[in-house]
Chain A
């Protein structure tokens, strides 16, 4: 530790930890992200619990029984599951320093995400009920909408990572693959939530 001017000492030292001692200090960012996802999952759990309770306790809302169409959501499920696989490929390629391939896979993943969002929109516009029609409708839109927000964020993250790994020496690279891995974990998480949502909302 060198003698820095007092004002800078504080900030610079902290910054150092990431770069300079990067090797000796293990990276805890992934742990933090995982903890955050636990919290996020609890938000969804709250929504699911509300949905299930409403369903059990207020079942006879006039006009609130709908048969949801299954084809579109099933397609959505497949889209997301495939995108998890493509994201995984992107990560593998980044670690092999094959940035070009990595970017290809990333683009594909983002494309799948956008396709999901588009098909979700199509579903929204063809549904026979609107947000404020009744309790069931509101809960349906709240759950799918909150999930859609997550997909949107995830897609944005993918695009940012895609931009940042243009060159092997970019901000995201084989030696600094945390952003990509973080986005990947998040993406798998969002997929997992969708599967639960699909089962609870559409299948039962």
Chain B
């Protein structure tokens, strides 16, 4: 009823799909190849960043600095943050899934600018390798992923300059990607497909890309100024020469707060695709979801100074940013209630994709609650730059974005590879990750409240036990990748054949073969006007047991 099935089939060509794995190492312009390149490359960097996290947690097993030298600790810390943000989460939730899915969703055969797309991807590996090799060659940057001057000006210059260069390259890649997504979503829609009929992930990517295009260039300009301070001895951020270090923080957070939404809005979109399929229900409140994404985009641009409440900002500024930040919780909350309502009354299949999505909801809610608390100046003044903040943002970026990345891999693997993943291993993976994650980060709230600052290699002995618990959680998280890795590798060869549409889903990527052919469809792209048209109409179901609001209230 909602899908006009493609009638025309391609002429008798055996397969348009190029064979051979080598194309994944080539300058391919196929959006699916590029999407996978992003995913695999990002995952490789995730493993590297994870190893660094392991080193950090090992150092923190004991209160003294004994595992590695103090400056090495700071290098590892800086690399860990930079790799995880710029080389894992941002490229994967945007680049990987965006490239793979958006052309399907708008009914196109590729992205708007395929070559630019390939360029954007191929900026990433060199930038990442450069960043990591700086550790071995000259010593990496040691001023944290925030690179606050004057520390970043006074620490060894080579490492810091390499850091700046690679972040500039990654920022460029992300801007090119953002432009491409905006153009694809707005301009490449199949005739007859209206904006308000697009799957939610398109809206999330549109919002994200707007943030990318508006905020990343500011970071680029700022880092250029910083590099001038280091190389040409200008004094923008050098107090010794009359510079102002707080201006750097403003400019930096003008990018980096939106950056947290660049990492999490696409994840919101992906969850909105996954849940309806496995709950066999329409996405609840499509229109409000769209508006809340746009509200988050607008508000996200005006909350940056909540990272600077102790930086000597004047009172009126603190007040304004408290209010703006707190209000971001409203559109975010709408999305969460809508997902809960999507679950309500569904026929939920408890597979790995759903488990990871629900894990995401639980973790993100906790991260959001601590976020609203942090937005209150008097609260923040105590816990800013402590382990409480570390816990907060890991609940958001790991508990949020990374959980969604895993959920998405479980959901789309059958489409990408054509074979199913093993469910038992998937659930084991979820269990280990969820327990390990909470064991690792929940205790850190307490550490921060009680006096442990962040970014330290040594700490007060009273915190030893809790730090060891946290490290045990980290170990569990490391172990949890093993079943996952085994699963994705082995299933590619031995997994059950998936078929075109194993989840009986309605979004367009499922209406072609698995894996899809080169230009996505043999014949015309289907017109999907109700991507969430699941569900038995109300008149065919016993309404008494399922009328939404009654049940809703009784649940609370």
* A positions within 8 Å CB-CB of B: 1-4, 6-7, 9-11, 13-14, 26, 28-29, 31-32, 35-36, 38-47, 49-50, 53-54, 57-58, 61-62, 64, 131-132, 134-135, 138-139, 142, 146
A1 with B11: CB separation less than 8 A: yes
Which chain B residue lies CB-closest to A53?
B247
Q: Could you list 15 examples of A-B contacts with CB < 8 Å?
A: A1-B519, A2-B13, A6-B15, A13-B16, A14-B114, A32-B116, A38-B214, A42-B215, A46-B221, A50-B247, A132-B233, A134-B241, A135-B235, A135-B241, A142-B225
Given known A38-B214, A50-B247, contact A1–B13 (CB-CB < 8 A): yes
Q: How far is the CB of B150 from chain A (nearest CB, A)?
A: 14
A32 with B112: CB separation less than 8 A: yes
Given known A6-B17, A35-B179, A39-B213, contact A138–B234 (CB-CB < 8 A): yes
A28 with B187: CB separation less than 8 A: yes
Q: How far is the CB of A4 from chain B (nearest CB, A)?
A: 8
A161 CA / B217 CA spacing, docked (Å):
27
Given known A6-B18, A10-B18, A32-B113, contact A135–B243 (CB-CB < 8 A): yes
B187: chain A residues within 8 A (beta carbon) = 26, 28, 31
* B positions within 8 Å CB-CB of A: 10-20, 23, 28-30, 109-110, 112-114, 116, 175, 178-180, 182-183, 186-188, 213-218, 220-222, 224-225, 228, 232-236, 241-244, 247, 250-251, 254, 518-519
B19 with A35: CB separation less than 8 A: no
A46 CA / B468 CA spacing, docked (Å):
43
A179 CA / B224 CA spacing, docked (Å):
29
Secondary structure call for the A interface: helix
Which chain B residue lies CB-closest to A27?
B187
A53 CA / B23 CA spacing, docked (Å):
50
A42 CA / B215 CA spacing, docked (Å):
7
A134 with B242: CB separation less than 8 A: yes
A64 CA / B241 CA spacing, docked (Å):
11
A1 CA / B228 CA spacing, docked (Å):
53
A6 CA / B19 CA spacing, docked (Å):
7
A14 with B241: CB separation less than 8 A: no
A1 CA / B524 CA spacing, docked (Å):
12
A28: chain B residues within 8 A (beta carbon) = 112-113, 183, 187-188
Given known A39-B216, A43-B220, contact A54–B179 (CB-CB < 8 A): no
A138 with B236: CB separation less than 8 A: yes
Say which residue of B10, B14, B218, B243 sits within 8 Å of A43 (CB atoms): B218
A61 CA / B221 CA spacing, docked (Å):
23
Which chain A residue lies CB-closest to B175?
A39
A38: chain B residues within 8 A (beta carbon) = 213-214
A7: chain B residues within 8 A (beta carbon) = 18, 20, 23
B10 with A1: CB separation less than 8 A: yes
B235: chain A residues within 8 A (beta carbon) = 132, 134-135, 138
Q: How far is the CB of B145 from chain A (nearest CB, A)?
A: 19
A39 with B236: CB separation less than 8 A: no
